[in-house]
Amino acid sequence: MSLAQASSQTKTLVVNGRSGDATVVQLNGRTYVDLETLARIADGSLAFRGNQVTLALPASPAAAPAPESPGDHPAPQTGLSRDFKIAAIETLAEMREWASTTANAIQHGYPITESWIVDYREKAATSLRKASATASTESDHSALALLTTEFQNVETWSNDLIEARKNMDTAKYSMSSDALRNEPLSQKIITCGHFLGTMIGSGEFKDDLSCH
């Protein structure tokens, strides 16, 4: 049989990201390296017990997570969302219809029944609930709070007029077309309504004292 051919060279050995010089022996197509050298380069340990050899190597360092691309987490939407704007504008329209119809009936002495007042209120309340359901951005929720306050003010104003009608105390409103409009709560509702319409149309949330 022919003698086995062996060759050795000193090479740089890399183990789990750690490197060092080691004598590498190639014999019959196989590559060998000294265990003690391997343990030293890898910062491991080597132990002998009877006919057992234990080589312990530390785990390889965890790979750094790949940087996230901007597309991984879409930027949160700012401003008023499209669906909320549509629902909010509808709510404003319903509240204006409710308020203007009530004011017209009071000024001209038309009979008012609670049933049709409730009908106008429910239409506005339904639109407000829809606006609440579509609110998704921080601006939507901030604008919804102002819209809700406007609804509550219109409701208070309407209830006060109904009560005044029951008590036959609405004659003062028929004397002047501006008497009802110039009342503090009426002015507050009108100013806030105009502000909300402009703000919602712009698509950006803004605040105004008239809506508080």
pLDDT digits (tens, 9 = 90+) for 97-128: 999 998 888 888 887 777 888 999 999 999 99
CA pair distance 210, 110, nearest whole angstrom? 30
Radius of gyration over every alpha carbon of the chain, rounded to an integer in angstroms: 40
| Residue 2: per-residue pLDDT | 47
- Residues 54-104 have pLDDT tens digits of 666 676 665 555 566 555 555 556 799 999 999 999 999 999 999 999 888
Residue 22 pairs with which residues in a beta bridge?
A: 11
Options 1.10.1060, 1.20.120, 3.40.630, 3.40.50; CATH for 82-211 is 1.20.120
CA nearest 123: which of 95, 102, 101, 145? 95
Whether 151 contacts 94, CB under 8 Å: no
Query: Cβ atoms within 10 A of the Cβ of 24, count?
Result: 17
Domain map of the chain by residue range? Answer: 7-56, 82-211
Q: Which of 94, 106, 201 is nearest to 157 (CA)?
A: 106
How many C-alpha atoms does 134 have within 13 Å on its Cβ side? 19
pLDDT, tens digit (0-9, with 9 covering 90-100), for 182-209: 899 999 999 999 999 999 999 999 999 9
Beta pairing, strands 18-27 & 30-33: antiparallel
DSSP string, 41-84: HTT-EEEEETTEEEEE-PPPPPPPPPPPPTTTSPPPP-S--HHH
H or E, element range at 183? none
Mean pLDDT rounded to a whole number for the chain: 82
How far apart are alpha carbons 193 and 95 in whole angstroms? 9
C-alpha to C-alpha distance for 142 and 149, rounded to whole angstroms: 11
